[in-house]
Amino acid sequence: MLNIDYAQVEAAAKTAAENRDFCLGIKVRMSADIVGNNGLEPLKRAIQAAELAGPWARVMCHIGNVPGNIGDLLDLLRPGDILTHAYSGLGNNTVQNGRVVPQALSAKQRGVIIDVGHGGGSFDYTVFEPARDQSFGPDTISSDIHAVSGNTPGMPFLPWVMSKFLNDGYTLEQVVEMATVKPARVIDRVDRLGTLQVRAPGDVSILELVEEPVEFVDTRNNRRRGERWLKPVQTVRAGRPFGRPFPTPFAWP
């Protein structure tokens, strides 16, 4: 986005519309070091592209150190759009001087989805905790896991991220919901994802709730102690334990 000419509205909309079976909308990274002097123009173009693609298309807006006034950015987001990295603490963000900015609360109230997006640099306890206490908690929990973020002290593997919230004001039921059926509902895939209802794919993550003292660290080296964490035990994909050898190679019993 340093070169705004790359933000081609019609081309993005056409690509999204032609691939609706797996394309959910338009992602835009709105951090000062990403957009340079282009301000909010990349977000405006992302919204235009989503609207042109169709009423189903959402915008996912990544925020770090937001360019300009974060309130102006938040006011652009539509109901159903997704604000990710909402608790990053990387400068101009949703919590300032210990208070959630009013436009962030307004965005959540009108239906903007608030997403964690932990990653390697986007979850700060000193941002999240006042946000939680001021009714700006997350709607969905996500990891933002990749080769780089997976090697950072915050360890943003999804069960570990879920465990952080399990020890910071949320019940097991809430944490599981925010990592499964809620995201599926947001992207209108609840018939196929995030649910164990009849005729849904047999995809299951089996986790053990371990009760023992544990310490967590965020992406800014703030530490919190907890009393329980979620340990991955097994993954079932399409009804079959993943990673186990087949009785007969390549055969379905």
* Strand intervals (E) in the chain: 25-30, 58-63, 82-84, 95-96, 99-100, 113-114, 204-217, 223-237, 240-241
Whether the per-residue pLDDT at 155 is higher than 70: the answer is yes
* Global confidence as pTM: 0.92
Is the CB of residue 226 less than 8 Å from the CB of residue 214?
yes
Amino acid at 155: M
What average pLDDT does the structure give for the chain? Answer: 93
Lowest-confidence pick of 138-147, 152-161, 220-229, 242-251: 242-251
Q: What's the confidence (pLDDT) of residue 253?
A: 42
Q: What are the residues whose beta carbons fall under 8 Å from the beta carbon of 175, sequence distance 6 or more? A: 141, 162, 165, 166
Kindly tell me the sign of the dihedral angle through the C-alpha atoms of 201, 145, 141, 78.
negative
> Nearest-CA neighbor of 3 among 38, 32, 29?
38
CATH 3.20.20.140 fits 64-196, yes or no: yes
For 191-223, write each residue's pLDDT tens digit.
Answer: 888 988 888 888 999 999 999 999 999 999 999
Q: Which sequence spans correspond to the domains of the chain?
A: 64-196
Q: What's the confidence (pLDDT) of residue 160?
A: 97
Whether the per-residue pLDDT at 248 is higher than 80: the answer is no
